[in-house]
Amino acid sequence: MSTELTWPDTPDEATRAAVHRIFHAVVALGGAVGYLNPPTREETDPWLEETLRNVRDKDARLALAVVDGSVQGMGLWRRGPAPIFTHSAELGKIMAHPEARGLGLGRLVVTALIDSARAAGIEMLTLGVRGNNHGAIELYESLGFREWGRLPNVIEVGTRRFDDVRMFVDLGRPAGVVLHGSAPGGPGWSPARTA
């Protein structure tokens, strides 16, 4: 078995079809990747176009796992939505086609995305994972992610509700960065009000 990663930056028909095939199969089995029902090409093609536009703008990277010549897994990181968050990114759409489960594609993709984000100057990676996806949570923890919060029962799948588990991994910062955290003072500071 031959496995490799590709990093597309422009869409072509083969990539569109491969990405759609994975989305459709994963959602059909109840995967938590943003769709309630298996998406159509009219839904996944625009998603891919936007993602690859972000890749070309250096605001994202999309990794595709190719097994014996067929795209079987994927995932991406995307920078934060505003200029004050461009040093952080969110992992998303980490999935493997059901026929390729158990091949270690999740670990391969996430490890490569962590390395890619670090090389792009990303300091913090975050992600959200459905609370009942214990295998994914275990994978992320093994790669250094830690839970920072949990929104209870906010992910809807039919009449069921699941936790949104939020996780992060710190990738390091350049020399000279001052970590202010929640200490008083600094830009935008206001004192606590007493009753």
State pLDDT tens for residues 16-36.
999 999 999 999 998 888 898
State pLDDT tens for residues 82-97.
888 889 999 999 999 9
**CA-CA distance, 58 to 76, in Å (whole number)?**
12
Q: What is the mean pLDDT of residues 49-68?
A: 97
| Residues belonging to the chain | 195
Element (H, E) at 142: helix 134-142
State pLDDT tens for residues 175-194.
999 888 888 888 888 888 88
Distances in Å between the alpha carbon of 12 and those of 17, 39, 52, 60?
9, 19, 11, 18
Instruction: Tell me the domain boundaries of the chain.
Output: 3-170
Choice between 64 and 158, residue whose per-residue pLDDT is larger: 64
**Cβ of 161: how many Cβ atoms within 10 Å?**
13
Token digits of residue 64: 């595709």
Question: Do 171 and 117 contact (CB within 8 A), yes or no?
Answer: yes
Question: Do 95 and 31 contact (CB within 8 A), yes or no?
Answer: yes
Percent of the chain whose predicted confidence (pLDDT) is above 70: 99
What is the domain class of 3-170 according to CATH?
Answer: alpha beta
Residues 6+ apart with CB under 8 A from 80: 86, 87, 88, 89, 90
Global pTM exceeds 0.85 = yes
